[in-house]
Structure formats: C-alpha cells, structure tokens
Amino acid sequence: MTKGTNSIASRLEALVSPEVKGLGFDLLDLEYSPSSPQGGPLLRLFIENPDGKPISFEDCVAVDHGLDTFFASSEFDSLLPEGFTLEVSSPGVDRPLKRPSDFLRFEGKRAQIKTYRPLTAEEIGNGKYFEHHQKQKNFLGILRGYTGESVELESDSERIKIPYALITKAYLDVSSQLSLKDE
C-alpha cells in the first residue's frame, strides 16, 4: 500500500468504526485497496462481537446493510466518491492482534508476531534467549500479556518481550494447532 492509501484507510477507519459500533459490533480491522478485480476501490471490514461470540453470515449481512445510509452520506462521499466494493467478514481463525488490549485478552493463547527488524538483547529482555535468536524477526509462542509498551511472549520455554512499536503483524495461531492434531 502506498502512503496515500494508508491515509485514506486511516480516515475511513475513523469514520466507519463508530458506525459499526452503532450496529452492535466492533471494527477489528479495515483494509482499503484503490482497485479490485471487480473494478474500482475495495473496502474490506473485519468485525467481531464485543462479547466474543463468533461472527455469523447474518452478522456480516446486518453490518453490510446497516452501513448503506452512512455510505450514501456526504461525509463518506467526500472521502470515497466513486463506487466501491464492500466486503464484511469475521477476522477468521487466525485473528489479527491489533491493539494492546488484544494481547491481554488472548493471554495464554498461541500467537505469531512479526517485527520490522531483529530485536536487540535489551529489547527482548532475555539474554539467554537472545544468544540463540539474534536475527529473529518472526516469533511464535504463548501470549503472556502486555506491559510497559511491550508484548510478553513465552517462546522456547523462555519469556521474552517484543516492543509493540516494532510489531508489523501479529495474530492468533490457531490454524497451526489444528494441523498438528491431524498428524
């Protein structure tokens, strides 16, 4: 995505999030692409229930239809005037972890975390772990919380810290556990 696209996505998220909230759901993530296979921009919304219940097809339809009036408003039209394709979806099995509260909410669950760059020994906060993982940017382990602007993760039987500001992507790792059960 280009910087301009990110800016549009941020502004769209700021506008759409309260509308989704008003429909009884939380907007977990919003993806914007200036072009789609259908032609024109693509707006993809990932929603979740505040009470943690799974998202149903009916929930997605309710949000899709519930946003019709908002999408016809001048406020929305000034940001994205041309036609667009809307997709509303659940976050899926491998739910993204976007906010610090997500790392607390899913404490004890298996997660994958990717960082912009390898972490320093000081950032990881565990010299023993760092000795064997000096260039690591991809982490897999059990979430142990969020404190002091860092995600705490248990990996290779060691507790480490990952600075939140350096995370490029984080998500629950449910699918790898499912494939392990099949073996």
CATH number at residue 150: 2.30.30.180
- Express each pLDDT in 124-149 by its tens digit: 999 889 988 889 999 999 999 998 89
What CATH number did the domain enclosing 50 receive? 3.30.300.70
Q: Is residue 10 one of the residues assigned to a domain?
A: yes
Say if residue 63 is in the same domain as residue 39: yes
Say if residue 9 is in the same domain as residue 84: yes
- The percent of residues in the chain predicted with pLDDT above 90, rounded, is 57
Say if residue 73 is in the same domain as residue 7: yes
Predicted pLDDT at 52: 81
Last residue of a domain, one of 89, 117, 139: 89
Quote the number of domains for the chain: 2
Predicted pLDDT at 183: 45
Mean pLDDT for the stretch of residues 151-177: 90
At residue 1, does pLDDT exceed 60? no
Say if residue 151 is in the same domain as residue 76: no
SS3 of the chain: the string is CCHHHHHHHHHHHHHHHHHHHHCCCEEEEEEEECCCCCCCCEEEEEEECCCCCCCCHHHHHHHHHHCHHHHCCHHHHCCCCCCCEEEEECCCCCCECCCHHHHHHCCCCEEEEEECCCCCHHHHCCHHHHHHCCCCCEEEEEEEEEECCEEEEEECCEEEEEEHHHEEEEEECHHHHHHHHHC
Predicted pLDDT at 89: 93
Say if residue 84 is in the same domain as residue 104: no
- Express each pLDDT in 37-92 by its tens digit: 777 888 999 999 988 888 999 999 999 999 999 998 888 888 876 788 899 999 88
What is the residue range of 140's domain?
Answer: 100-182
